[in-house]
Amino acid sequence: MSVTTLSSPALAVRQPGWIVRLFDYKPFLIVMCLAPAIGLLAVFLTYPLGLGVWLAFTDTTIGRRGTYIGLENFQYLLTDPLWWNAVFYSVVYTGIATFGKFALGFWLALLLNNHFPLKSLLRAIVLLPWIVPTVLSALAFWWIYDPQFSIISYLLVDVLHWRSSNIDFLGTPWPARFSLIAANIWRGIPFVAISLLAGLQTISPSLYEAAMLDGASAWQRFRYITFPMMMPILAIVMTFSIIFTFTDFQLVYAITRGGPVNSTHLLATLAFQRGIAGGELGEGAAIAVSMIPFLVFATLFSYFGLARRKWQQGEAND
């Protein structure tokens, strides 16, 4: 590396223009370096976030500036059965999908942590559902859930003869809800598995050797070594997963658009329906803002809940 740097001092000494000196002035350079990132984030993230909270307290519609109406939007939402329905389904969706993703994803990570041929190829294949655009794989699920030509129904009815009629996946509320949850779990497994696999590979094998010398069973090794050692990374991955599952939009919008009879609306799809499609920006913003308390609570719960357990066990182990 030093060979390439030798030519640079000559350059700097030969032409010490004021621009060069200005850009070498540290405070100026810091401001210049941070300006693009901070600028973009301030204009398109922080400002809209504040604006969203403000809009939630106004009666803005598309094409008309609203006026401040206080808590009216929120009071209306509290009496709106559709909003309650969306809250209910968002919580159910997040709860079941997160549990499924982490149970199956952790299992897959443990499987992938074994030694077998073509391991890296398999790891690459496993990540595919996460790489492909969600909407496009959601369309594949829509087709898989088709009432008449569903391949799952075909398997159960015509091949295995377990059922006599096709399953109506998306036509009735509860099957539709669980179909969406299944699609979400399918899409979420790879991310969880690959992140947890990275965590598993950092656990020192000597811990397992020591435990095995002490006669620990496979379950005990998992329970008292793998699980506690994975706590920090589990906390981070779970926080991310909960946030992005709770605010999910694409899957539901692509497969059911909230139907049948509004039973599968998540808060995000309801906000889109009211705010953009319906033009009631103020009300849509209020629905979006109503997600924030849930998110903060879920984040604090998953992060501090898991992080504290890790800290306690770390101390007990010392």
Partner 1 sequence: MTDVAASPGNTNVASATPDTMAWDSRARRVMMIYLPLSCFVLILLFPFYWMAITSFKPNAELLNYKEHNPFWITSPTLAHIKHLLFNTAYPTWLKTTMFVAVGSTTLSLFASTLAAYAIERLRFRGSPYVGLGIYLAYLVPPSILFIPLATVIVQFGLFDSPMALILVYPTFLVPFCTWLLIGYFKSIPYELEECALVDGATRLQILRRITLPLAVPGLISAGIFSFTLSWNEFIYALAFIQSGANKTVPVAILTELVTGDVYQWGALMAGSLLGSLPVALFYSLFVDYYVSSLTGAVKE
Residues 242-301 that bind partner 1 (CB under 8 A): 243-244, 247-250, 253-254, 267-268, 271-272, 275-276, 281, 284-285, 288-289, 291-292, 295, 299
One residue of 96, 127, 156, 167 binding partner 1 per CB under 8 A: 127
Candidate residues 134, 156, 224, 313; the one interacting with partner 1 per rule CB under 8 A: 134
Q: In angstroms, what is the minimal distance from the CB of 175 to partner 1?
A: 18
Q: Kindly tell me which of 116 and 316 has the beta carbon lying closer to partner 1.
A: 116
Among positions 175-234, residues that touch partner 1 (CB under 8 A) are 186, 189-191, 194-195, 197-205, 208-209, 212, 218, 221, 233
- Shortest Cβ distance from residue 216 to partner 1 (Å)? 11
Instruction: Please say which residue, 102 or 141, places its beta carbon nearer to partner 1.
Output: 141
Q: How far is CA 161 from CA 47, 148, 153, 169, in A?
A: 58, 16, 10, 18
Given the complex with partner 1, which of 32 and 78 has the nearer CB atom? 32
Which CB, 263 or 289, lies closer to partner 1?
289
Least distance in angstroms from the C-beta of 245 to partner 1: 10
Hey, which residues between 1 and 40 contact partner 1 (CB under 8 A)? Answer: 1-2, 4-6, 8-9, 11-13, 20, 23-24, 26-27, 29-30, 32-34, 36-38, 40
Alpha-carbon distance values, 267 to 84, 229, 309 (Å): 9, 35, 31
Task: Count other Cβ atoms within 10 Å, centred on residue 19.
Answer: 9
- Of 5 and 316, the one with the shorter C-beta distance to partner 1 is 5
C-beta of 131: minimal distance to partner 1 in Å?
Answer: 5
- 242: burial class by Cβ within 10 Å (0-12, 13-18, 19+)? buried
Binding test (CB under 8 A) with partner 1, winner from 132, 210, 261, 300: 132
Closest CB 311 distance from partner 1, rounded Å: 18
Whole-angstrom distance, CA of residue 219 vs CA of residue 21: 64
Please give the size of the binding site for partner 1, defined by CB under 8 A: 120
From the CB of 12, what's the least distance to partner 1, in Å?
5
Interaction residues for partner 1, span 147-176 (CB under 8 A): 149, 151, 154, 158
Q: Which of residues 63-102 bind partner 1 (CB under 8 A)?
A: none
Please report how close the Cβ of residue 76 comes to partner 1 at its closest, in angstroms: 16
Q: Calculate the CA 305 to chain-centre distance.
A: 18
The residues pairing with 58 across neighbouring beta strands, listed in sequence order, are 68
From the list 71-79, 93-101, 120-128, 305-313, the region that binds partner 1 by CB under 8 A is 120-128
